[in-house]
């Protein structure tokens, strides 16, 4: 079983390649044994864009197999190039070629992880419009990885349920639904989806924590519905699902008012949170609190996959791409978490 960690280059028109280069330069101990799946010229351009007067240049090394990353010296970027990838793309522009490059890197890394050729994958940001322009059938990383895992296992997509967790030292949150409209997300608050989310969350954090996680569940409506005054979802759907989960031995509590449950779960020095994780009903409800606490701290983890996948909790940042000013902290945190989860 390999111990190498694959980092996908992300959208080459965004900040992915430059935060990768910056991480290899500034956090060499954390990046030891990691390699980049991508285009060599794209990574060399990224290394050049972070150069500053008085600082040595960052070399880029070609490798042919993941295990060779373990022999590459520190402060050098090992790149496993994929044939047919387009070269550097215009900074900050949405393009089909950029979307294709990002997707092909993810597919290669996912298949490598599923075979055991890599210990984990860390995905640099991609752009969903660029994916769509490239004809990719999936709206983002999570859905693409789910499809690859299902194909590898030979099961239908529905038999490979996954959930998105955003985690930092202070707060973890898992989403019932991910990339869909708010109108559709409300419809996705069903007994089956909520039960599945609780099961996936419990199983994943049981492995990570070594004990049953204490799970807080957010309501969907203001004030968690006020007993049905502001909506019936808490009464008819969420509370019964929680009761069923508790009957199965899970440590689940709620539903709680969405505007306070995240504060109750927040871990700060000297004051541990009441919950190990909050299950949120839809994308923004769960992600805004974690990102508000610090984009540089948050890590996106896909739960339910037969592989370890993490990523930074930010996007492609086309507006600053190529300036060498993007912060690599979240990527470094994603590598650290991937290494921890892969043990």
The predicted model gives 220-234 an average pLDDT of 94
Q: Specify the residue for token string 């956090």.
A: 27
pLDDT at 278: 98
Q: Are strands 120-123 and 5-8 parallel, antiparallel or unpaired?
A: parallel
The predicted model gives 138-159 an average pLDDT of 94
Length of the chain, in residues: 343
Helix axes 96-115, 141-153, angle to 10 degrees: 40
Helix axes 239-247, 191-209, angle to 10 degrees: 40
Q: CA 232, CA 135: separation in Å to the nearest integer?
A: 39
pLDDT at 294: 76
Q: Are strands 163-167 and 120-123 parallel, antiparallel or unpaired?
A: unpaired
Residue 142 near residue 162, CB atoms below 8 Å: yes
Q: Specify the residue for token string 């930010």.
A: 314
Q: Which residue segments constitute the domains of the chain, with CATH numbers given?
A: 5-158+306-341 (3.40.718.10), 169-288 (3.40.718.10)
Token output for 328: 């690599």
CB-CB neighbours of 133 under 10 Å:
16
Q: Kindly indicate the confidence band of residue 4, based on its pLDDT and cuts at 50, 70 and 90.
A: very high
Q: What tens digit of pLDDT does each residue of 31-84 get?
A: 999 999 999 999 999 999 999 888 889 999 999 999 999 999 999 999 999 999
Q: What tens digit of pLDDT does each residue of 283-304 get?
A: 999 999 998 887 677 899 999 9
Q: Kindly indicate the confidence band of residue 1, based on its pLDDT and cuts at 50, 70 and 90.
A: low
Beta bridge partners of 61: 78
Strand locations in the chain (E): 5-8, 34-38, 60-62, 77-81, 120-123, 163-167, 172-175, 214-218, 251-256, 277-280, 299-303, 309-312
Q: Contacts from 237-245 at CB under 8 Å and sequence distance 24+?
A: 237/189, 237/190, 237/191, 237/194, 238/189, 238/194, 238/281, 240/191, 241/191, 241/194, 241/195, 241/198, 242/198, 242/217, 244/195, 245/195, 245/198, 245/199, 245/202, 245/215
Judged against a pLDDT cut of 70, whether residue 130 lies above it is answered with: yes
């Amino acid at each position: 079983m390999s111990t190498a960690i694959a980092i996908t280059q992300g959208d080459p028109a965004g900040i992915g390649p430059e935060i990768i280069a910056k991480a290899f330069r500034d956090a060499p101990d954390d990046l030891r044994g990691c390699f980049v799946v991508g285009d060599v010229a794209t990574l060399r351009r990224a290394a050049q864009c972070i150069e500053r007067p008085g600082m040595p240049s960052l070399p880029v090394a070609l490798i042919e197999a993941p295990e060779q990353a373990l022999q590459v010296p520190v402060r050098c970027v090992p790149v496993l190039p994929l044939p047919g990838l387009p070269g550097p793309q215009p900074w900050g522009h949405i393009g089909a070629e950029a979307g294709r490059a990002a997707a092909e890197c993810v597919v290669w890394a996912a298949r490598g992880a599923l075979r055991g050729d890599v210990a984990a994958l860390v995905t640099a940001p991609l752009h969903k419009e660029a994916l769509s322009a490239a004809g990719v059938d999936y709206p983002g990383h999570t859905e693409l990885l789910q499809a690859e895992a299902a194909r590898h296992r030979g099961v239908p997509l529905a038999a490979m349920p996954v959930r998105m967790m955003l985690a930092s030292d202070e707060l973890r949150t898992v989403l019932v639904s991910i990339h869909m409209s708010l109108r559709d997300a409300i419809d996705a608050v069903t007994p089956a989806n909520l039960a599945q989310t609780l099961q996936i969350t419990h199983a994943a954090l049981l492995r990570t924590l070594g004990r049953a996680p204490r799970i807080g569940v957010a309501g969907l409506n203001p004030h968690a519905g006020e007993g049905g005054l502001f909506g019936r979802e808490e009464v008819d759907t969420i509370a019964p699902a929680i009761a069923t989960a508790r009957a199965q031995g899970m440590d689940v509590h709620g539903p709680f008012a969405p505007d306070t449950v995240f504060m109750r779960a927040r871990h700060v020095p000297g004051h541990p949170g009441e919950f190990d994780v909050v299950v949120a009903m839809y994308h923004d409800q769960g992600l805004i609190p974690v990102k508000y606490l610090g984009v540089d701290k948050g890590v996106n983890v896909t739960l339910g996959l037969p592989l370890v996948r993490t990523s930074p909790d930010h996007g492609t940042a086309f507006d600053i791409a190529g300036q060498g000013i993007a912060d690599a902290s979240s990527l470094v945190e994603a590598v650290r978490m991937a290494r921890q989860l892969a043990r």
